[in-house]
Amino acid sequence: MTEIAQFYNDFQPAHYDIYIEIDRKTKKINGTTKITGIATSTNIAIHQKNLKVSLVEVNGKQSKFEIDTASEALRLTVDKPGEIEIKIDYETKLTDSMMGIYPSYYEVDGVKKQIIGTQFETNFARQAFPCIDEPEAKATFDLALKYDEHPGELTLANMPENHVKAGVHYFDTTVRMSTYLVAFAFGDLQGKYAETKSGVKIGVFATKAHKANELDFGLDIAKRSIEFYEDFYETPYPLPHSWQLALPDFSAGAMENWGLVTYREAYLTLDPDNTSLDMKQLVATVIAHELAHQWFGDLVTMKWWDDLWLNESFANMMEYVAIDALEPDWGIWETFQAAEVPAALQRDATEGVQSVHVQVENPAEIDALFDGAIVYAKGARMLVMVRALIGDTALRAGLKDYFEEHQYGNATGADLWKALGKASGIDVLKIINSWLEQPGYPVVTAKVVDDNIVLSQKQFFIGEGHDEGRQWQIPLNSNYEEVPTIMSKNEVTIAGYQHLREQKGEPLRINVGNSSHFIIRYDDTLLNDILQDVTEFDSITQLQILQDLRLLAEGNQVSYETIVPLLGKFADSKYALVNTSLYSVARNLRKFAAPHTPEEQNLKMLYVKLSAHQVERLGWIQKTNESVDDQLTRPYVVGAAIYGDNETAVAQAHKLFTANQTQLSGLQADVRAAVLINEVKSFGSHELFEKLLAEYRQSADGSYKADICGALTSTKDLVILRELVDKFEDSETIKPQDLRAWFAGVLSNDEGEQLAWDWIRNDWQWLEATVGGDMEFTTFITVIARVLRTEKRLFEFKDFFEPKLEVPGLTREIKMDTSVIESRVKLIAEQGESVNKAIKEAL
């Protein structure tokens, strides 16, 4: 493995003068970069990638240089250590990889257009200009930008534009920042503006393919988020403006460039009159996440990529803190429980998973660190745990000190724990360390032995796992105060269960509020006590019971057979959170039912039984002043009814489709996916396929496009499925940024599985060339592992991916996903017969 030689050790930039000239027609870039800084050695290296360097001057004198392609470096020798100025002339090209400086393609009224944007995280600034492309190498930047400009085009950057001369746009000097946060964009854009109470100018920008009112929601959330953070952090937003830009082609979800945040269109723009509540919540949390980074990540930046989690976990927690304050009626923390928590628990139970804090040396491994379920979801859980432990007063005081001490500089995780520990008087590091530095989490077994409550901890695995005897400092959060606050040993005994039970008058529960990162396995005595009146508990407790039982079944510690009879208890719940968990369990039952078998038919009948009363209660059309829970529940139950081929639901969905067939985008957003899926599955034709595909190409509404993708990939028509797979490499139809969703849809369709599986194996090189530099590239393997479930597929997976085990950045993913498929195959073999029997008996 090649270790990263950190170039910053030999040359510390202080300021960059960057001139970039771009010709969109030829895709050529000409640039000149001047870097002023301190050389601590006579041999220095500057990052570059695919730059054709024509001239290097040091202190005004031409200098010899060497291009080291393997290290992505320009190497040169200076006369002596000290302050120097390096000038580099170069040329390069716009990329089509959504990294570096690249074009985004779109259409307006059938006319093809493009805008230019940037994506420099993690280490792609070096593709745009020579630099020390490391987070610790903070400097100020002067940007001058020239391009083949047309009248009416907008030019955006981190800082305000101060003048234009001879077609060159000059921008104010930035504050001290890392190279990966530099950003600019230009093109035929529209914008809307607002101003915060403190005078920060807020702007939201998108192409003119969008209606003007699609910018309003994002503008409102951005403005109020900045105002909230200024108050919560007690630290002013440090730049004059905060621009939010929707890019038609964007590899990640969004990127926190300081002052010019970039987004996928679906995560910034939305139709205010017809977008489902869950989509509004998603867009709001993405915006709040990126704006949390303007302080935590941008103002204070991780020293090196091993502390990436520090940026992402913190922003992931703060997006919920912010939106809960801005939209309290949404109950956004329930979304955290429904989405982030199960994602973290599922991924973190797999042998070989990374810890939250992980060492990284090889440059190719940096992007592989962006494991969403760990760095984002688990890390956020750790911080939620810390917040619950120290309280908001100490959290805010600690953050204020942290920002003051490290602003415009770099910090490590230890610096944050030090600040929070000082503010709270609690040794935060001691408690949190066991969660951050080791992978996985414990299952706490709770049982009654000789009238004592015995609690024990052991690492939980789904599939085979190597037990290394890990221990955690576990905040138990029990409703019995006799249970210790922190469990630091392998086993704890609490005497006198019967007396405690009578005294408390309620069942023993552990991890009340589900804020700590572990699951509980209650023995029959304790579990039956809880289940007796389980629907009387709050929604989080009900979710937790279902969630923990599902995970224990996945880990083969209990059988799904015992869970199936419980599902009916929760079927009529008015809590969206409970319905989310109920249908998560139901979805997991599908793996036991082979396609086109009586077992699959029984499972469909179970779906109909679980959803029937709720569909009748809620109907397909929203009612006036409907509750948040009802709005969020409807998509689950109508989707379940359609999956189950409920004749009444099929007819109702078809009726809605027919009534709206001249403007399908106008279908009520929260049922639109189910209506379109139903139409494609039950009434599909090649004519409908062409109609929906044309709508997909023409629409700029990300939510509607996702619904079309879900519908078309659900077809049972092999001819259409083959045509869809043929479109995978047609970027005019399916943009590379959206390909994973289409691939996943076809792969998880029993009729399309073979087609999609053959495609990715045959065209892996094309996929790698197209999205291989993307931090989400490895998730194509994750998607495969979520679907494959037979011995034959396991053999094929190993046969294809094991030769790629030595590819940096793929190793961990391949090993983990092999384990995921192996455990699923084994689970189906061991539990399949009994589970299908239980499903039949539940009808």
How many angstroms separate the Cα of 112 from the Cα of each of 108, 109, 286, 618, 806?
Answer: 7, 9, 28, 43, 41
List, as one string, the DSSP characters of 661-700. Answer: TT-GGGS-HHHHHHHHHHHHHHH--HHHHHHHHHHHHH--
The two three-digit tokens of residue 16, written as one number: 């960059």
Residue 50, φ and ψ in degrees, nearest 5: 60, 30
Pairing of strands 300-302, 409-411: parallel
Q: How far apart are CA 619 and CA 652, in angstroms?
A: 10
Q: How far apart are CA 721 and CA 730, in angstroms?
A: 15
Cβ proximity of 571 and 611 under 8 Å: yes
Cβ proximity of 98 and 91 under 8 Å: no
> Cβ-count burial of 674 within 10 angstroms (0-12 exposed, 13-18 middle, 19+ buried)?
buried
Cβ proximity of 540 and 496 under 8 Å: no
For 607, other C-beta atoms within 10 Å of its C-beta total 24
Catalytic residue check, 290: yes
Q: How far apart are CA 709 and CA 739, in angstroms?
A: 10
Q: Which amino acid is at 624?
A: T
Cis peptide before 122 (omega within 30 of 0): yes
561's enclosing H/E stretch is helix 560-563
Which residues make beta-bridge pairs with 33?
18, 88
Cβ proximity of 476 and 510 under 8 Å: yes
443's enclosing H/E stretch is strand 442-449
Residue 302, φ and ψ in degrees, nearest 5: -55, 145
Q: How far apart are CA 265 and CA 206, in angstroms?
A: 8
Among residues 290, 340, 365, 822, the one annotated as catalytic is 290
Pairing of strands 201-207, 241-247: parallel
> Cβ-count burial of 43 within 10 angstroms (0-12 exposed, 13-18 middle, 19+ buried)?
exposed
> What's 181's DSSP letter?
G
Which residues make beta-bridge pairs with 726?
none
Catalytic residues: 290
